[in-house]
Chain A
Amino acid sequence: MRQYRGNSDAIRSLVRSGEVHRDVYTDPELFELEMERLWHRAWVYVAHDSQVPKPGDYLTVQVAGQPLILLRSGDGQVRVLYNRCAHRGARLVSASAGNCGGLLRCPYHGWTYRLDGTLRTVPLKSGYAGSGFEESRAAHGLASVPAVAIHRGFVFVRLAADGPGFAEYFGESLTSIDNMADRSPEGRLEVVGGTLRYLHECNWKMFIENLNDTMHPMVAHESSAGTARDLWKDQPPEAAKPMVIEQFLPFVSNYDFFDKMGVKLFENGHSYTGVSFSIHSKYSAVPEYEARMVAAYGAERARAILSEIRHNTVYYPSLTVKGAIQTIRVVRPIAVNRTLIESFTLRLVGAPDSLLERSIMYNRLINAPTSVVGHDDLHCYRSIQEGLEADGNEWVSIHRNHAPGEEARAIAGVYNGTSEISVRGQFRAWLAAMA
């Protein structure tokens, strides 16, 4: 097993112009370094602020091995604190969500904190007189993460004290979140309906690389979406399609469809498929919704918003959003071969309920642990995780549409949809953080 910590040359040797070394997916030391470097320097998604609407509302979230509390303080601000009592290090809050009232209280010795993390009370405080406690780290209360940014309610953190600014990190890729929020007549989103939690026994990058992978749906999803197509094929063309058929059918579109769909890359590993159109383009119209959008934005702006129908936007490394159907998936790496994917539906505030029902159905059909689409994707990721143990070839090919001199150019731009350039863009970002 090679050594990577303290060996930038060894890390740099893992990424070649059209291939990457299998260790990036299988080596536990590289995974540790990813958490320390890539996942600390990046802006990582935590939660949506609609999940903590009232003062005292909180969520506990694990990000890159760090236990965090996201909470709404009394002044209305959203804060992200480390979930660690300043005393002996106990996890302060154990529940995944709740309301803590006006303070946080440790269950071990009862130290309390205000919602901004400052230390409020310590029992039998007289015992600390002259002890040096007042000058210690503990007296400052809970640590906050170094940087928090909120965009249209999406709360991101940067766990490293130094690193790129939020706007600089995401650039124009934020327009995907904007388009999703703008699809609400009130420009607001709300996470509703609970969290689907799908445990993936594979490296987190397998999932990320699948999001803009357009060469697999017609193969991997033949048995699921293809079955839906076969069950529907004898219907007359003008027959109204049930929502489930509308959602499944486009998955088995042909190579030409996916190639013309296009993929757009940004710096820092972000991208989206569905530049020209996407698998979401042909859902039936909802006249009541369109009327509300025109009333809110005027006909021209409403049309501009609704004609932007992106597929998966990747916010590298932690988040993917599907604005056209209002679902998001969050990547929570646990180990080199273990990743939790959490999927959420967002309600478009001010839109008719039928849009939420459509999002709920899509999230369940595609993202649940019971999803027939998910089963075949995860089967493939696990096949890779296991297949990479094989000797005889240590390299993973990401050559598709690689052009000579690609590495010398900035990677941002629009490309044909079946290119593997989105994966090459991700590894550029990976290498910049890791070496």
Chain B
Amino acid sequence: MASDAELIGFVYREARLIDEKRLDEWYELFAEDARYWIPLTRGQKSGLTENSLMFEDKLLLKVRIERLKNPHAYSQSQPSFCQHVLEAPGIEDRGAATGIAILRTPFLYLESRKDRQQVFAGVAWHHLRAVRGRLSIVLKKVELLNCDAALPSVELFP
């Protein structure tokens, strides 16, 4: 199993890749069976039978990432930028029994496009699996503080 420093460093690095728009490298952090989930309600049980803000498998992540490279992604003709500000990730489970480490990270996430800046807050949960010494994301669950609010377009990756 990975060390505490490697687990914690992974979470910080993941946020940095998104913020620096190194999205192809970010994509490689996800396991083939991974999910990136932003629930719609607090304590939501399922992304399959209940609505969510995101419940993306790798194919959907690929669609999003490739779209952002497309000059006809008109909502991004004035591009958005984002910044994660993270509290120190806490290790909830080192994964000794399951092989999956779980980290909990409260955060602020800002999206900016020209004169408009949106601030979001929440708690991110990372479920990480180590395979041959390499960590990958099995589940990234983002519990937004205002998940039930009427939201504007959220275009990047909280």
Interface of A toward B, CB cutoff 8 Å: 192-199, 201, 220, 222-224, 226-228, 230-231, 242, 244-245, 248, 340, 343, 345, 353, 356-357, 360, 363-365, 368-370, 372, 374-376, 378-380
Give the distance in Å from the alpha carbon of A193 to the alpha carbon of B47 in the complex.
Answer: 9
How near does chain A come to B23, taking the closest CB pair, in angstroms? Answer: 13
Contact between A231 and B62, CB atoms less than 8 A apart: yes
Provide the bound-state CA to CA distance between A365 and B41, in Å. 17
* A-B complex: 10 closest residue pairs judged by Cβ atoms: A379-B75, A223-B73, A375-B75, A369-B151, A223-B70, A197-B150, A193-B50, A199-B150, A223-B72, A193-B51
Are A360 and B70 in contact, with the CB atoms below 8 A?
A: no
* Complex Cα gap A343–B51 (Å): 10
**Cα of A379 to Cα of B114 in the assembled complex, Å:** 14
State in angstroms the CA–CA spacing of A327 and B81 once bound together: 32
Q: Which residues of A contact B44 (CB under 8 A)?
A: 194
Candidate in A227, A230, A343, A365 with the most chain B CB atoms within 10 angstroms = A227
- Is B51 touching A196 in the complex (CB atoms < 8 A)? yes
| Among candidates A192, A220, A370, residue contacting B49 with C-beta atoms closer than 8 Å | A192
Among B2-10, B52-60, B85-93, the stretch in contact with A: B52-60
Residue contact A197 to B148, C-beta cutoff 8 Å: yes
Whether B149 is near chain A, meaning CB under 8 Å from some CB there, is yes
A379 contacts across to B, CB distance below 8 A: 74-75, 77, 153
Docked-complex contact A194 and B63, CB < 8 angstroms: no
Known A198-B151, A244-B60: A376·B51 in contact at CB below 8 Å: no
Q: Are A380's CB and B74's CB within 8 A? A: yes
Question: On chain B, which size bracket covers the interface?
Answer: 35 or more
Identify the closest chain B residue to A343 (Cβ).
B51
In the assembled complex, the Cα of A322 lies from the Cα of B50 at a distance in Å of: 18
Which one, A198, A228, A360, A376, contacts B75 given CB within 8 A? A376
Q: Which residues of A contact B76 (CB under 8 A)?
A: 375
Interface of A is mostly: helix
Q: In the complex, which residues of chain B have a beta carbon less than 8 angstroms from the beta carbon of A360?
A: 48-51
Q: How far is the CA of A379 from the CA of B155 in the complex (A)?
A: 11
Do B74 and A220 touch (CB < 8 A)? yes
A343 to B48, CA, bound (A): 16
Q: With contacts A197-B150, A198-B150, A223-B67 known, is A375 near B155, CB below 8 A?
A: yes
**B51 with A244: CB separation less than 8 A:** no
**Which of B52, B57, B66, B153 has its CB near the most chain A CB atoms (within 10 A)?**
B153
- CA distance in complex: A242, B56 (Å): 13
Roughly how many angstroms separate A360 CA and B53 CA in the complex, as a whole number?
11
B149 CB, min distance to chain A CBs, angstroms: 7
Residue of A nearest to B62 (CB): A231
How distant is B54 from chain A, measured CB to nearest CB, in Å? 5
Of B41, B60, B62, B155, most A-chain CB atoms within 10 Å: B60
Q: Is the CB of A364 within 8 A of B52?
A: yes
Q: Which of A220, A228, A380 contacts B63 (CB 8 A)?
A: A228
Write the nearest CB–CB distance from B48 to chain A, whole angstroms. Answer: 5
Chain A residues lying within 8 Å of B57, measured Cβ to Cβ, are: 244
From B50, B51, B52, B70, give the contact of A227 (CB < 8 A): B70
Whether the pair A353, B153 counts as a contact (CB closer than 8 A) is no
Minimal beta-carbon separation of A16 from chain B (angstroms): 29
Q: Which residues of A contact B154 (CB under 8 A)?
A: 369-370
Q: For the complex, what is the distance from the CA of A14 to the CA of B59, rounded to whole Å?
A: 47
B72 touches A222 (CB 8 A): yes
Chain A residues, CB < 8 A from B74: 220, 223, 376, 379-380
Task: List B contacts of A226 (CB < 8 A).
Answer: 70, 72
Contact (Cβ within 8 A) A197 B67: no
Q: Among the listed B49, B53, B150, which residue makes an inter-chain contact with A368, where contact means beta carbons less than 8 Å apart?
A: B53
Chain B contacts of A223 at CB under 8 A?
A: 67, 70, 72-74
* Contact partner, B53, options A193, A353, A370, A372, Cβ 8 Å: A370
Would you give the 0/1 interface string for B93-136, flagging 1 where the beta carbon is closer than 8 Å to chain A? 00000000000000000000000000000000000000000000
- Determine if A194 and B59 form an interchain contact, defined as CB atoms under 8 angstroms apart: no
When distances are taken between beta carbons in the complex, the residues of chain B under 8 Å from A196 are 40, 51, 53
The CA-CA distance from A144 to B53 in the complex, in Å, is 35
CB distance from B90 to the nearest CB of A (A): 26
Task: Quote the shortest CB–CB distance from B24 to chain A (angstroms).
Answer: 14
Q: How far is the CA of A230 from the CA of B63 in the complex (A)?
A: 9
Q: Is the CB of A231 within 8 A of B73?
A: no
Residues in B with CB closer than 8 Å to A197 are: 148-151
- What residue in chain A is nearest B50 (Cβ atoms)? A193
Known: A364-B51, A380-B74. A372 touches B64 (CB 8 A): yes
A370 touches B75 (CB 8 A): no
CB pair A199 B49 closer than 8 Å: no
Task: Choose from B51, B62, B155 the contact partner of A345 (Cβ within 8 Å).
Answer: B51
With contact pairs A222-B72, A227-B63, A375-B153 given, residues A194 and B53 touching in the complex (Cβ less than 8 Å) = no
Closest beta carbon of chain B to A392's beta carbon, Å? 23
Give Cα distance in the complex from A368 to B147, angstroms: 12
Given contacts A197-B151, A231-B62, whether A378 and B54 have CB atoms under 8 Å apart is no
